Amino acid sequence: MKFLNKKIKAFSFIEVIITISLFLLLAGVGVGAYFQYYSFSLVKADVNNVLTLIGQTRFKALKNPTSEDYGIHIDVPTRTITGFRKTYSPFDTENTVVQLEQLNITDLSLNPSIGVTDEIIFQTQTGKTDNYGNFTIGDANYSYTININAQGVVN
């Protein structure tokens, strides 16, 4: 009976502990990278939503057959950017609102000679604006500066 004389090999307790430790280390690195990517994707979504709102609002002003201007209102404390028609009213049901989920609005710097420093009005059929400037949206890790020139175009 040769079968009974064979030595049975198995893993030692130390080998099992080392294998589990390496697995947990790799899993920890992977989870950290995933959460960093997830956080960045939320920031990117906020930036894209703001850029889309600005583009859509300017497009409405360009294609508007009436003399009604369109604009955006930037509300720093509530972290909202609102697209509106004619004049800004927070209660207008036709407003398009982007609520920033992850980011804050900082460094709002629009043309101070206009007087209104939290709105950008796009002129009908030209899309130009007198209240050009820039503002930054971001958090502790990421920031993105949106610059709107006198032609109403985002740089």
Residue 47 and residue 101: Cα distance in Å, rounded? 10
pLDDT of residue 125: 87
CATH numeric code, 11-148 = 3.55.40
Structure tokens, 70: 């369109």
Q: Look at 9 and 28; give whichever has higher pLDDT.
A: 28
Domain residue ranges of the chain, discontinuous segments joined by + = 11-148
Residue 151 and residue 106: Cα distance in Å, rounded? 23
Kindly report, residue by residue over 108-150, the tens digit of the pLDDT: 888 877 776 789 999 998 999 988 999 999 888 888 899 999 9
Band (pLDDT 50/70/90 cuts) for residue 5 is low
Kindly report, residue by residue over 51-103, the tens digit of the pLDDT: 999 999 999 999 988 888 899 999 999 999 999 998 899 999 999 999 998 78
Residue with tokens 């049901």: 93
Residues whose CB is less than 8 angstroms from the CB of residue 139 and which lie 6 or more positions away in sequence, other chains included: 43, 102, 103, 104
Structure tokens, 94: 């036709």
